[in-house]
């Protein structure tokens, strides 16, 4: 896990070099289902993340949420989140279970649960009490359905499949994300600030 997000200066250099160099072709069996946005969006961002990772929290709340509002909502970017709970984090896997269950209810429920898990990360990582955090952003009916879904053994299968995909893609730390555009893919290890990612996306759209 990255202890902190890279400095803005360093990331600017990385993204500038990406824009000036040939991109790599897409590879791996990535999930084509958009968690926000539509599959026909000109840019797809695939993110491998761990709910207990502090850098993932910052990246989601400070960078991805604005991307969802400004780009995914306008179908300019498709966002795909891949769960990658690291073994070093005691509560990452239980948190992932709630996120997967919420995703099975619907996109809106998944978005609410993800934001709650990241926003209240400091709370549940200390106590392991995830249910109250999730329950605060769902209706009583939705929470009852979540609890039922959590009993499904395929939840664990989904987690193992997600971990296998991360291993296949060579993910070693979180967050790691891939920007796919024009049939090509670029990989970025670590989070970036919203202004930097926004600038990069706007260059892609030109």
Ordered by start, the domain boundaries in the chain are 8-205
pLDDT in tens, 150-167: 999 999 999 999 999 999
Residue 73: is its pLDDT beyond 70? yes
Residue 39: is its pLDDT beyond 50? yes
CB 49 within 8 A of CB 82: yes
pTM for the model stands at 0.84
Beginning with the edge strand found earlier in the chain, give each strand of the sheet holding 43-49 in spatial order: 24-25, 184-189, 176-181, 43-49, 77-83
CB 177 within 8 A of CB 46: yes
3-state class (DSSP) for residue 155? helix
Residue 20: is its pLDDT beyond 70? no
114 to 16, 36, 77, 101, 155: CA distances (angstroms): 31, 12, 19, 11, 16
CATH of 8-205, one of 3.40.109.10, 3.40.50.2000, 3.40.50.720, 3.40.30.10: 3.40.30.10
């Amino acid at each position: 896990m990255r202890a902190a997000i890279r400095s803005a200066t360093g990331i600017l250099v990385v993204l500038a070099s990406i824009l000036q160099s040939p991109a790599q072709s897409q590879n791996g069996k990535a999930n084509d289902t958009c968690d926000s946005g539509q599959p026909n969006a000109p840019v797809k961002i695939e993110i491998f993340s761990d709910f207990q990772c502090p850098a993932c929290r910052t990246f989601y709340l400070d960078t991805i949420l604005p991307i969802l509002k400004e780009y995914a909502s306008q179908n300019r970017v498709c966002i795909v989140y891949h769960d990658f709970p690291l073994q070093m984090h005691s509560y990452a896997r239980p948190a992932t279970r709630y996120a997967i269950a919420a995703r099975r209810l619907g996109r809106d429920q998944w978005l609410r649960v993800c934001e709650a898990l990241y926003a209240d990360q400091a709370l549940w990582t200390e106590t392991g009490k995830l249910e109250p955090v999730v329950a605060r952003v769902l209706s009583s009916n939705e929470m009852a359905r979540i609890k039922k879904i959590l009993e499904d053994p395929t939840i664990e299968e989904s987690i193992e499949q997600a971990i296998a995909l991360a291993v296949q893609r060579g993910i070693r730390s979180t967050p790691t994300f891939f920007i796919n555009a024009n049939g090509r893919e670029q990989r970025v290890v670590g989070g970036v600030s919203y202004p930097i990612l926004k600038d990069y996306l706007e260059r892609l759209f030109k």
